C-alpha cells in the first residue's frame, strides 16, 4: 500500500488535533488509525466503540475506520447513530460493554467546519484516554509506518439503528443517548430534580450546536420534565453554527443573555463540542470551575451515588486549591496531577479518588474515565433540589466556610512558537535564581519549579508540566504552553489569590488579581517577548 510520512503524528494533551485540511491529505487519517491499531495488543475479535461530536469530517472518518477495523481483525464495532457520541458517553459505553477500546472523533471545543479543526482520541478499556506510554508508542509508530490495512467494502448506513456485517466484523449502530441516560439515572435522584422543575425552577442549558443537545433534551426535558425549550442550540451542526463550542462567558453568549440582567433565570449551564466540559451559572453569578469542583465535593453526600463519602479528590496542578481545603476538612486525600484527563485514570481505577476536576471547565467522577459535562450539570441540579438555595448562596456559604480562591486564567493565543519557547526558557532561568523569601511587593516567594509528577500507582513520571511560582500564604502564578491548540502556541497564565476574609475584597476578580497580573509580566516578560500587552482570552 502506498503511504507517505507526515513527520510523525504526535498526539497532544487530548489526542491528535489538526486542521480538517491536514486530515484530508491522502493517507493521513489512515496512517494515524493504523498507528493506533499497531500500538495496541492484539485486536483480533475485539470490540471497538466509535463516535464523535458531529463536526465536519466525522462521518467520513467513521467510514474509513470501519473499513480499517475489519481489515485489522476487530470482531465488533459499536457506533453511535449518525456517528454521534459524546466523549463521556463513549467512556460509559466502553465500560458497560467491556469493549477493548474506543475512538472519539472530536477536537473538543475547537471550532469545526471545513476550515475548522478535527481530532482523534483513542480510549482504552477502562474508558479513559490512552496513557502517555501508549500515545508515545502511537507517535513513534507514526514515524516509521509504511503501510496500512483497509478493506474495500462499501460505506455503511450510519442513520439506522441495527446490526450489519462488514466482512467478518459485526457493526451495531446504537442509540447515542440511551446508555448514558441510564447511567445518570443510577447516580442522581431524578425524582428530586423532577420536583425542583415542577416547582417552577427556571433554567437554560446551552448545547452550543454541539454534541450534548440530544443528551440534555432527553434527560432534562423528556425525563426530568424541564419545560421544552430549556435546551438551546440543541441540534449538533457540522460547524457548530459557526460558533466556538467552548462553555465560558465569552463564547456562550446566548446563555449569558438568559442568566444575567433583567428576568434572569435561576440556573444556566453549557457544554462544549464533545460534551465533556461544563460551565455552571446561577442568577447573575458565575461559578469558577475550580470552585465548582470544591462545592461538588463538599456536597457529594447529598447525591445517591456518593452518599457513602468520597475516597479522595484529584485536580490538575493549575486548578485552584479550593478542593484541597474540602479534602482536608473531609479527611481525605487530594492529588495534584498534570493537565489532561488521562492523569486521573490510574487514581480512579485504583479507587483512590471519586471526584476529579480541572480549571478548564472539566469535572467528573469514577462513573466514567472522562470529564463529563451533563453529569456536572445534573450534580448541581441535584444539590439545588436538596438544598433549596440559590447557586450564589451555596457558593458564598462555601467561601465563608473554606475561604475563597480568587482565580483566573489568561490565555495569549496564536503566538509564535519560537517566541513561546524562548519565553519559557527565559522563565526557567529566572526560576533557577529565584530564592525562597524573595519579595515581589507584598508577595514573598515560597518556591518555584517546573511541575513534575510521579504517578502514585505505576510510578511513571511526567516532567516539565508547567512553571509555577508559589507565594507564601497560598497565592500562585502558573505558566504553561497549551498542548491542544492548532494555531501557533498558546501561553496560559493561571493566577490564584487566596483569602480567608472574603469580605475584605471587591468582587471583581480581575481587580483582586491585579497585582499578580502585573507580577506575571514582570517575572515572565510576556510583553517583552510577545509584544502583547493583554491576553486574548480571559476565563
Listed ranges 122-130, 207-215, 274-282, 452-460: which one lies at the site for Zn ion (CB under 5 A): 274-282
Q: Which is nearer to ligand G1P, 212 or 482 (CB)?
A: 482
**What residue 221 binds from Zn ion, ligand G1P, none (CB within 5 to 8 A, per partner kind)?**
none
Listed ranges 5-13, 271-279, 331-339, 380-388: which one lies at the site for Zn ion (CB under 5 A): 271-279
Residue partners of 19: CB distance under 8 A and separation at least 6 = 115, 116, 117, 118, 486
Residue 77's SS3 state is: strand
Minimal distance in Å, beta carbon 20 to Zn ion?
17
370 contacts 343 by C-beta, under 8 angstroms: no
- What residue ranges in 145-266 does DSSP mark as E strands? 162-166, 169-174, 203-206, 231-232
**What residue 13 binds from Zn ion, ligand G1P, none (CB within 5 to 8 A, per partner kind)?**
ligand G1P
DSSP run (H or E) holding 122: strand 117-123
CA distance 513 to 274: 32
Crossing angle between the packed helical segments 87-96 and 373-387, to the nearest 10 degrees:
90
Q: Which is nearer to ligand G1P, 245 or 340 (CB)?
A: 340
**What residue 484 binds from Zn ion, ligand G1P, none (CB within 5 to 8 A, per partner kind)?**
ligand G1P
Residue 448's SS3 state is: strand
CA distances for 423 relative to 417, 441, 527, 539, angstroms: 10, 23, 10, 22
Helix ranges (DSSP H) in 188-286: 190-198, 212-216, 253-259
Listed ranges 102-110, 174-182, 325-333, 448-456: which one lies at the site for Zn ion (CB under 5 A): 102-110
Q: Which is nearer to ligand G1P, 193 or 210 (CB)?
A: 210
CA distance 101 to 85: 14
Minimal distance in Å, beta carbon 322 to ligand G1P?
16
**What residue 266 binds from ligand G1P, Zn ion, none (CB within 5 to 8 A, per partner kind)?**
none
Q: 425-457 burial by CB neighbour count: b if 16+ within 10 A, else e?
A: eebeebbeeeeeeeebeebebbebebbebebee
Minimal distance in Å, beta carbon 274 to Zn ion?
4
Q: Which is nearer to ligand G1P, 275 or 362 (CB)?
A: 362
- What residue ranges in 265-422 does DSSP mark as E strands? 267-271, 278-282, 285-287, 312-316, 333-337, 355-358, 362-365, 404-415
CA distance 182 to 81: 17
Catalytic option among 35, 39, 108, 482: 108
Give the count of residues interacting with Zn ion (CB under 5 A).
4
**What residue 274 binds from Zn ion, ligand G1P, none (CB within 5 to 8 A, per partner kind)?**
Zn ion
Nearest one of 328, 308, 310 to 365, comparing CA atoms: 310
539 contacts 495 by C-beta, under 8 angstroms: no
Q: Which is nearer to Zn ion, 276 or 291 (CB)?
A: 276
CA distance 319 to 338: 10
For 466, list phi and psi in degrees, rounded to 5. 140, 135
CA distance 124 to 135: 11
Minimal distance in Å, beta carbon 177 to ligand G1P?
22
Minimal distance in Å, beta carbon 324 to ligand G1P?
17
Q: Does 272 bind Zn ion (CB under 5 A)?
A: yes
Q: Which is nearer to ligand G1P, 127 or 282 (CB)?
A: 127
**What residue 482 binds from Zn ion, ligand G1P, none (CB within 5 to 8 A, per partner kind)?**
ligand G1P
Listed ranges 3-11, 127-135, 264-272, 480-488: which one lies at the site for Zn ion (CB under 5 A): 264-272
Listed ranges 41-49, 100-108, 124-132, 214-222: which one lies at the site for Zn ion (CB under 5 A): 100-108
Minimal distance in Å, beta carbon 329 to ligand G1P?
25
Q: Does 276 bind Zn ion (CB under 5 A)?
A: yes
Q: Which is nearer to ligand G1P, 141 or 315 (CB)?
A: 315
108 has catalytic annotation: yes
Q: Does 108 bind Zn ion (CB under 5 A)?
A: yes
Comparing every residue's Cβ against Zn ion, the nearest one is 108
Q: Which is nearer to ligand G1P, 30 or 370 (CB)?
A: 370
**What residue 14 binds from ligand G1P, Zn ion, none (CB within 5 to 8 A, per partner kind)?**
ligand G1P
Residue partners of 212: CB distance under 8 A and separation at least 6 = 86, 205, 271, 275, 373, 374
Listed ranges 275-283, 293-301, 313-321, 458-466: which one lies at the site for Zn ion (CB under 5 A): 275-283
35 contacts 142 by C-beta, under 8 angstroms: yes
Residue 105: strand pairing partners = 52, 120
**Applying CB under 5 A, which of residues 117, 189, 274, 359 lies at the interface with Zn ion?**
274
Which positions lie near ligand G1P, rule CB under 6 A?
A: 13-14, 108, 316, 339-341, 358, 360, 362, 482-485, 492
Minimal distance in Å, beta carbon 420 to Zn ion?
23
CA distances for 185 relative to 144, 207, 275, 291, 366, angstroms: 46, 20, 18, 25, 15
Nearest one of 291, 496, 475, 476 to 396, comparing CA atoms: 291
Q: Which is nearer to ligand G1P, 18 or 492 (CB)?
A: 492
Comparing every residue's Cβ against ligand G1P, the nearest one is 482
Residue 439: strand pairing partners = 444
Minimal distance in Å, beta carbon 293 to Zn ion?
16
Minimal distance in Å, beta carbon 121 to ligand G1P?
10
Which residues are known catalytic residues?
Answer: 108
Contacts with Zn ion by CB under 5 A lie at 108, 272, 274, 276
Amino acid at each position: 500500500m502506498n503511504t507517505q510520512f507526515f513527520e510523525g503524528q504526535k498526539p497532544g494533551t487530548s489526542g491528535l488535533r489538526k486542521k480538517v485540511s491536514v486530515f484530508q491529505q491522502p493517507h493521513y487519517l489512515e496512517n494515524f488509525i493504523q498507528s493506533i491499531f499497531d500500538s495496541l495488543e492484539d485486536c483480533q475479535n475485539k470490540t471497538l466503540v466509535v463516535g464523535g461530536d458531529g463536526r465536519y469530517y466525522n462521518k467520513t472518518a467513521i467510514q474509513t475506520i470501519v473499513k480499517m477495523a475489519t481489515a485489522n481483525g476487530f470482531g465488533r464495532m459499536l457506533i453511535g447513530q449518525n456517528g454521534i457520541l459524546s466523549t463521556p458517553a463513549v467512556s460509559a459505553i466502553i465500560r458497560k460493554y467491556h469493549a477493548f477500546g474506543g475512538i472519539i472523533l472530536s477536537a473538543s471545543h475547537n471550532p469545526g467546519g471545513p476550515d475548522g479543526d478535527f481530532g482523534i482520541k483513542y480510549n482504552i478499556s477502562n474508558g479513559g484516554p490512552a496513557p502517555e506510554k501508549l500515545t508515545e508508542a502511537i507517535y513513534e509508530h507514526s514515524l516509521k509506518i509504511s503501510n496500512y490495512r483497509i478493506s474495500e467494502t462499501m460505506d455503511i448506513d450510519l442513520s439506522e439503528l441495527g446490526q450489519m456485517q462488514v466482512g467478518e466484523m459485526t457493526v451495531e449502530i446504537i442509540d447515542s443517548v440511551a446508555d448514558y441516560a441510564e447511567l445518570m439515572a443510577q447516580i442522581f435522584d431524578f425524582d428530586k430534580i423532577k420536583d425542583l422543575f415542577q416547582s417552577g425552577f427556571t433554567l437554560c442549558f446551552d448545547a452550543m450546536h454541539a454534541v450534548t443537545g440530544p443528551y440534555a433534551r432527553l434527560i432534562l426535558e423528556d425525563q426530568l420534565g424541564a419545560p421544552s425549550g430549556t435546551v438551546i442550540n440543541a441540534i449538533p451542526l457540522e460547524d457548530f453554527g459557526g460558533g466556538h463550542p467552548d462553555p465560558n462567558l465569552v463564547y456562550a453568549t446566548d446563555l449569558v443573555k438568559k442568566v444575567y440582567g433583567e428576568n434572569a433565570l435561576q440556573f444556566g449551564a453549557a457544554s462544549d463540542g464533545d460534551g465533556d466540559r461544563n460551565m455552571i451559572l446561577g442568577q447573575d453569578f458565575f461559578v469558577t470551575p475550580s470552585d465548582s469542583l470544591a462545592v461538588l465535593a463538599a456536597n457529594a453526600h447529598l447525591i445517591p451515588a456518593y452518599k457513602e463519602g468520597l475516597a479522595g479528590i484529584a485536580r490538575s496542578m493549575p486548578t485552584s486549591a479550593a478542593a484541597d481545603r474540602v479534602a482536608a476538612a473531609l479527611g481525605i486525600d487530594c492529588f495534584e496531577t498534570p493537565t489532561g484527563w488521562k492523569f486521573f485514570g490510574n487514581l480512579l481505577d485504583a479507587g483512590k479518588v471519586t471526584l476529579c476536576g480541572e480549571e478548564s471547565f472539566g469535572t467528573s467522577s469514577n462513573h466514567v474515565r472522562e470529564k463529563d459535562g451533563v453529569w456536572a450539570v445534573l450534580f448541581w441540579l441535584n444539590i439545588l433540589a436538596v438544598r433549596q438555595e440559590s447557586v450564589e448562596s451555596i457558593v458564598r456559604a462555601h467561601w465563608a466556610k473554606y475561604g475563597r480562591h480568587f482565580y483566573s486564567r489568561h490565555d495569549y493565543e496564536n503566538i509564535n512558537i519560537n517566541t513561546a519557547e524562548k519565553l519559557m526558557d527565559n522563565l526557567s532561568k529566572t526560576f533557577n535564581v529565584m530564592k525562597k523569601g524573595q519579595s515581589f511587593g507584598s508577595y514573598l516567594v515560597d518556591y518555584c519549579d517546573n511541575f513534575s509528577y510521579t504517578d502514585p500507582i505505576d510510578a511513571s513520571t511526567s516532567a516539565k508540566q508547567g512553571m509555577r511560582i508559589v507565594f507564601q500564604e497560598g497565592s500562585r502564578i502558573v505558566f504553561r504552553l497549551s498542548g491542544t491548540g492548532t494555531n501557533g502556541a498558546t501561553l496560559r497564565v493561571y493566577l490564584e489569590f487566596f483569602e480567608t476574609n472574603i469580605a475584605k475584597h471587591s468582587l471583581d476578580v480581575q481587580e483582586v488579581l491585579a497585582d499578580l497580573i502585573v507580577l506575571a509580566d514582570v517575572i515572565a516578560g510576556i510583553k517583552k517577548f510577545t509584544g502583547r500587552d493583554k491576553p486574548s482570552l480571559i476565563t
